[in-house]
Amino acid sequence: MEVTVLVHATDQAFRILEEARKRSTEILDAAARLTAETQSLRQKKVQAMFKGARQTKVEAIRFVATFLIMFAFWLFLSGHYDFFHISLGLICCGLVSHASYDLLFANPRQGDMWVIVKRFILYIPWLFYQIALSNLHVARLALGPRRLIEPKIIKFKTKLESDISLVALANSITLTPGTITIDIKDGVYYVHAISKKVAEDLMTGEMEDRIAHIFMEADHVYVQDVLDVAPIFGALK
Amino acid sequence: MKAIALIAVLMTGGLLIYSIEGLPDWGDPDSPASTHVSPEYIQDALEKTATPNIVTAVLADYRGYDTMGETAVIFTAGIGCVLILRKKRKGKGD
Amino acid sequence: MLEYVVSKFNFWTYVILVGIGLYAMIGKKNLVKKLIGMNIMQSAVILFYVSIGAKKGGATVPIFMGDAHAAHGHGIHEIIDVASYVNPLPHVLMLTAIVVSIATTGVALAALILIFRRYKTLNEDEILKIRREAGV
Amino acid sequence: MIWQLDLIICLFVIICAIAAINVKDLLAAVIILGAYSFFMCLLWTNMGAVDVAFTEASVGAGVGTVLFIAAVNRTKRRSKD
Amino acid sequence: MMTKQSDDVIVKTLSRLLIPFMQIYALYVIAHGHYSPGGGFQGGVILAASLILLVITYGLDNTLRRMNEKLNVIMCSGGVFIYAGIGVLCLILGGNFLDYAKLSPLLGVGIAQARSLGILGVEVGVGMAVMAVMVSIFLDVATGGLPSVDALEKTSRDND
């Protein structure tokens, strides 16, 4: 009888202990979760703060960059370099960059700007060479027999992504005589070409490759670099 | 209507052609318009207003009152355009 | 005869343009065409004024070049040859006239849109017919 | 101030004016009016009135055409005469 | 509709790149009206043209966020006010109306220079007024009298 009571008592005591342990672990868990939540919340807040700071920093960089470009343009236009006109220029550039700082650099990628500018300047002579070539071709078409002229609209999908490279390619195509960009819809170009040769030249995709190389977009940029390295390896062997 | 227009145009054209007789030749430096006040403007503008562009000097300085009237006319035209065309907005009007 | 026409050809152009504008304003039925005629007439009058101020024989635009300005700054007053600059007065008068003409064109276009909103047409005859039927 | 050039531009101006009032499509008429303004601007540059030409190039050929196009866009495009 | 956002990538990108240069050119034309062709009227019209380009390519609500109607009205009447105010300032200083020579003791420069500066101030006023009036007329004509964001949908529904 007493033994059973004792056993019963110990059993109950163990159960109570067990419950207490369980509850304490629950409480501990909850506390830990709570701290974790607050931590993550605080982290998020700090991140947001940093993000806001980055946002303002990006905006400040845009503002200053727009201001500098505008001021260079003003100095190029003005031609009067005394104190009065320079201060007028500063005021005007401040006004313009305050009004439209988010237009000139809508989605900037910092760091590689200089590379893009350098490559773009190197691209211009090639473009002029192409324009001269197709000029001669169109002149021959105009003077030659009529059957060579086969106007048609060609359609190709591009691998370019950013809108500035799309516009650069479209304007390069339009600047070259014989081809005109009609429309761009969802990365598909609709181009009017005046003859077969012009269309074939366009479909080789060399111009697109060069534009992609300028704006550092597609994979073949690296392929080109590798191709440049290949003859050196051959020489080493 | 076309006939009336043609008659009106011909009559006006005839009058204008008749008046061409009395106008000076094209590009005549001694025409009455070029000898009355404009020589003074050309001679005085740079010295008295420090403005090399004579047109700007005459526009804003010698005839500034005239230009103010023109600006007021443009302002009035803008207000007139708004008053003619602006609809009353829903919810705000009473 | 040819010399007579050539010596005053800008005035002939002015007469022809005024005729075209007047014809469009009276004879054409469409209201936008009437406005275009009004614009042509305004330009013709401005052409008349500007060509009165033109000068033959090496006259340039009425802007002093950099040398004259520098000379003025150093206190040297050179005699300015009037015959070598175009008469600036008609330019001043016409410059404001152009801007005022565009403002009045804006008011006219506003009235045009109002007319279209009410009568659903821009033809003069149809508008008059609608008004007559309405008994106005 | 070359009078041959002036004569040619005057001819262009008259052709543009006649075309502007005779075209049935109002949008085309408005664009031709812009071309008319531009030829007028060339004529005035040739006569030495650079300020007036500048004003006409920005006002007549620029904002005026835009205003006309906006108005035609809100009303009817076809015209009977 | 001319006041909807355009969906052409070429037009949008190029106008985005061009509009700041147009604006700085317009301000240059206003500020250098003394030395080269130009002045308040032309510069104001070019400035208005840049805003009109913004309306055509980026839509009305995008533009009104930059330049709302209240600012437009303030600039419209402020330009005329600047012009008349300079004239009245000359009147107060003892000269005739718009006699800029009387401004020379106030500005601390010679008489000719004071007249030049007076011309500049007047040109700024004219440019502001012309710009605001041109933008206002265009918005009224293009939207048919409802140039505000909440009213846009109603107009397009009326038109259909």
| Domain end residue (candidates: A104, A136, A153) | A104
**Domain boundaries defined on chain C:** 2-53+87-134
Chain D residues whose CB is inside 8 A of the E142 CB are 70, 73-74
pLDDT digits (tens, 9 = 90+) for A39-62: 888 888 877 777 777 778 888 888
Provide the pLDDT for residue A110: 58
Q: Domain check: are A159 and A226 in the same one?
A: yes
| Phi and psi at residue A118, to the nearest 5° | -65, -45
Provide the pLDDT for residue A40: 83
d(CA E96, CA E9) in angstroms, rounded, equals 56
Q: Domain check: are A97 and A128 in the same one?
A: no
Residues 20-79 of chain D whose Cβ lies under 8 A from any Cβ of chain C = 20-21, 26, 29-30, 33, 36-37, 40, 43-44, 47-52, 55-56, 59-60, 63-64, 67-68, 70-72, 74-76, 79
Residues 28-57 of chain D whose Cβ lies under 8 A from any Cβ of chain E = 50-51, 53-55
Provide the pLDDT for residue A223: 43
Residue C85 C-alpha, separation from nearest chain E C-alpha, in angstroms: 15
* DSSP secondary structure string for all residues of C82-129: GGGB---HHHHHHHHHHHHHHHHHHHHHHHHHHHHHHHS--BHHHHHH
pLDDT of residue A228 exceeding 60, the answer is no
Q: Which residues of chain C have pLDDT under 70?
A: 66-78
pLDDT of residue A231 exceeding 70, the answer is no
| Domain end residue (candidates: A104, A131, A151) | A104
pLDDT of residue A147 exceeding 70, the answer is yes
Chain A residues whose CB is inside 8 A of the E19 CB are 100, 103
* Placement of tokens 């150093």 in the chain: C74
d(CA A108, CA A110) in angstroms, rounded, equals 6
Positions of E strands within chain D = none
pLDDT digits (tens, 9 = 90+) for E98-121: 888 888 888 888 888 999 999 999
**More confident site: A4 or B57:** B57
Provide the pLDDT for residue A43: 83
pLDDT of residue E41 exceeding 50, the answer is yes
Q: Is residue B59 part of a domain?
A: yes
Provide the pLDDT for residue C32: 93
**What average pLDDT score do residues B70-91 get?**
85
Interchain proximity A100–E66, CB inside 8 Å: yes
Here the contacts of C118-121 (C-beta below 8 Å, separation 24 or greater) are C121/D76
Provide the pLDDT for residue C135: 83
Give me the percent of chain C exceeding a pLDDT of 70: 90
pLDDT digits (tens, 9 = 90+) for E82-101: 999 999 999 999 888 888 88
Contacts of A146 (CB under 8 A, 6+ apart): none
Tokens (6 digits) for B5: 């227009």
Q: Is residue B73 part of a domain?
A: yes
* Placement of tokens 């540059």 in the chain: D45
pLDDT digits (tens, 9 = 90+) for E112-150: 899 999 999 999 999 999 999 999 999 999 988 776 655
Provide the pLDDT for residue E8: 85
pLDDT of residue B94 exceeding 50, the answer is no
Q: Domain check: are A76 and A45 in the same one?
A: yes
Contacts of A97 (CB under 8 A, 6+ apart): A63, A66, A67, A70, E20
Q: Is residue B16 part of a domain?
A: no
**What average pLDDT score do residues E34-41 get?**
90
Q: What's the whole-model pTM score?
A: 0.84
CB B84 within 8 A of CB C107: yes
In D, minimum Cα distance to C25 occurs at D21
Could you give the ipTM of this predicted complex? Answer: 0.86
Residue B38 C-alpha, separation from nearest chain C C-alpha, in angstroms: 6
**Of residues C70, E90, C54, the one with CA closest to residue B46:** C70
Dihedral (Cα; C11, C14, C16, C21), 10-degree rounding: -160
The domain of A77 spans 2-104
Interchain proximity C33–D60, CB inside 8 Å: no
Number of domains in chain B: 1
Of the pLDDT bands very low, low, confident and very high (cuts 50, 70, 90), residue A232 is: low
**How many interface pairs between C and E have CB atoms less than 8 angstroms apart?**
27
Specify whether domain C2-53+87-134 bears CATH 1.10.287.3510: yes
The domain of B72 spans 35-85
pLDDT of residue A227 exceeding 70, the answer is no
pLDDT digits (tens, 9 = 90+) for A85-127: 999 999 999 999 988 888 887 666 656 777 888 888 999 999 9
Q: Which residues of A8-46 are buried (b: 16+ CB within 10 A; e: fewer)?
A: eeeeeeeeeeeeeeeeeeeeeeeeeeeeeeeeeeeeeee
pLDDT of residue A5 exceeding 90, the answer is no
**Domain boundaries defined on chain D:** 3-74
Q: Is residue B18 part of a domain?
A: no
Find the angle CA(B37)-CA(B42)-CA(B47) to the nearest 5 degrees.
120
pLDDT digits (tens, 9 = 90+) for B22-38: 888 877 888 888 888 88
CB C87 within 8 A of CB B38: yes
Provide the pLDDT for residue B92: 47
Helix count and strand count (H, E) for chain D: 4, 0
Q: Domain check: are A128 and A227 in the same one?
A: yes
**Domain boundaries defined on chain E:** 9-159
